[in-house]
């Protein structure tokens, strides 16, 4: 019988490949998508399509982070379109991966799973502090201090299989795994019909990945 794992599934290419790798490793997947009222709500639709292909169960959890604001993805702040620059961009959502991993941890403990997958990446990324290996290691340590399972000797493992991959590596993995990358959505500021803007950091990194991998990019850009 397959071991169960929770995979955080945003609907983006990274989370799709992460789910594909977890499935390849033999896990039965529960996909957890947080609908945080993000500007790019179309990614929740993408997550549903991906989960239908890869997951045994899919939970879409509403959590309206517009109540907090503080990010171009949840507040009335323009999404930058001038290219990936230095520093932490305004598309950073305060403590997002900490919040999302905490929810995934709760679901894992409740459902009896001890493995949580997250598609963070520390090479070709936008400079977010909660995408670094130090963060993943510290959250795993916290998970095993803060839970009944961890204290009673059933430790959790936080898997971040994309951590040291470039976007080109991730595009190649999607191809190797036979995933339909066109189902995924990356844009932070899509057009009303869901088309990728082609100019935000996420679009630029996505296009760069497919180009450097020498693969056809299935994405429709404005």
Residue 6, strand partner residues:
30, 116
pLDDT of 37 > 80? The answer is: yes
Angle in degrees, CA 208, 203, 18, rounded to 5: 80
Cβ distance 18 to 51 under 8 Å?
A: no
pLDDT of 39 > 90? The answer is: no
Residue 141 — very low, low, confident or very high, per pLDDT cuts 50/70/90? very high
Residue 4 host element (H or E): strand 4-8
Angle between helices 96-111 and 133-146 (to 10 degrees): 40
- How far does the chain reach from its first CA to its final CA, in angstroms? 45
Residue 125, pLDDT score: 65
Give me the sign of the Cα torsion angle 132, 16, 81, 67: negative
Task: Please state the rounded mean pLDDT for residues 164-180.
Answer: 97
Rounded Cα–Cα distance for residues 126 and 124 (Å)? 7
DSSP line for 60-118: EEE--GGGT--STTTSS-PPP-S---SS--TTPPTTHHHHHHHHHHHHHHHHT--EEE-
Residue 158 host element (H or E): strand 157-159
Tens digits of residue pLDDT in 64-92: 999 999 999 999 999 999 877 778 889 99
Rounded Cα–Cα distance for residues 63 and 93 (Å)? 13
Residue 6 host element (H or E): strand 4-8
Tens digits of residue pLDDT in 120-132: 998 766 678 999 9
Angle in degrees, CA 121, 126, 129, rounded to 5: 70
Instruction: Give Rg (Cα) of the chain.
Output: 17
């Amino acid at each position: 019988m397959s071991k169960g794992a929770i995979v955080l599934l945003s609907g983006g290419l990274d989370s799709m490949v992460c789910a594909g790798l977890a499935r390849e490793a033999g896990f039965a997947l529960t996909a957890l998508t947080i609908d945080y009222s993000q500007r790019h709500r179309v990614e929740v639709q993408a997550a549903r399509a991906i989960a239908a292909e890869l997951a045994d169960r899919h939970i879409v959890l509403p959590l309206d982070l517009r109540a907090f604001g503080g990010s171009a993805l949840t507040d009335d702040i323009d999404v930058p379109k001038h290219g990936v620059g230095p520093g932490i961009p305004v598309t950073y959502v305060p403590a997002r991966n900490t919040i999302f991993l905490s929810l995934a941890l709760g679901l894992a403990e409740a459902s009896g799973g001890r493995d949580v997958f997250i598609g963070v990446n520390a090479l070709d990324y936008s400079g977010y502090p909660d995408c670094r290996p130090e963060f993943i290691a510290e959250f795993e340590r916290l998970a095993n201090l803060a839970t009944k399972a961890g204290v009673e000797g059933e430790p959790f493992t936080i898997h971040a299989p994309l951590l040291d991959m470039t976007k080109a590596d991730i595009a190649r993995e999607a191809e190797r795994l036979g995933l339909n990358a066109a189902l995924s959505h990356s844009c932070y500021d899509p057009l009303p019909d869901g088309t990728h803007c082609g100019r935000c950091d996420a679009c630029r990194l996505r296009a760069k990945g497919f180009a450097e991998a020498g693969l056809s990019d299935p994405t429709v850009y404005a």
